[in-house]
Amino acid sequence: MIADHSQVSANQAPIGVFDSGAGGLSVLRQIHALLPQESLLYAADTAHIPYGDKTSTFVRERVNVVAQSLVGLGAKALVVACNTATAAAVESLRQRFVMPVIGMEPGVKPAMECSGSGIVGILATEGMVRSNRMAELVERFAHGRKVIIQPCPGLVEQVERHALRSPETVRLLKNFLAPILDSGADTLVLGCTHYPFLLPAITQLVGPDVRVVDTAPAIARQLQAQLRQHGLLNDAGSGGDVRFFSTRVMPEQAELFSRLWGEPVKVEALGELD
Ligand code: DGL
pLDDT in tens, 115-168: 999 999 999 999 999 999 999 999 999 987 899 999 999 999 999 999 999 999
Given a cut of 60, whether residue 8 has pLDDT beyond it is no
Which amino acids bring their CB within 6 angstroms of ligand 1?
A: 19-21, 23, 49-52, 82-84, 125, 128, 156, 192-194
Compute the average pLDDT of residues 238-262: 94
What pLDDT does 3 receive? 45
Would you please indicate which residues are annotated as catalytic (active-site) residues?
82, 192
Closest to 93 measured CA to CA, from 73, 67, 70, 126:
67
Q: How many Å lie between the centroid of ligand 1 and the Cα of residue 1? A: 49
Question: What local confidence, expressed as pLDDT, does residue 273 receive?
Answer: 60
pLDDT at 153: 97
Out of 62, 90, 125, give the residue to mutate to test ligand 1, the one with the largest number of ligand atoms within 8 Å of its CB: 125
Q: How far is the CA of 113 from the centre of ligand 1 (A)?
A: 25
Residue 5 has pLDDT above 70, yes or no: no
Q: Is 151 helix (H, G, I), strand (E, B) or coil?
A: strand
Q: List Cβ neighbours of 191 (8 Å cut-off, separation of 6 or more).
A: 83, 106, 122, 123, 124, 125, 128, 134
The pTM for the full model equals 0.94
Model pLDDT, residue 140: 93
Least confident of 23-27, 74-78, 250-254: 250-254
How many whole angstroms from 116 Cα to the centroid of ligand 1?
29
Among 228, 186, 212, residue whose Cα is nearest residue 76: 228
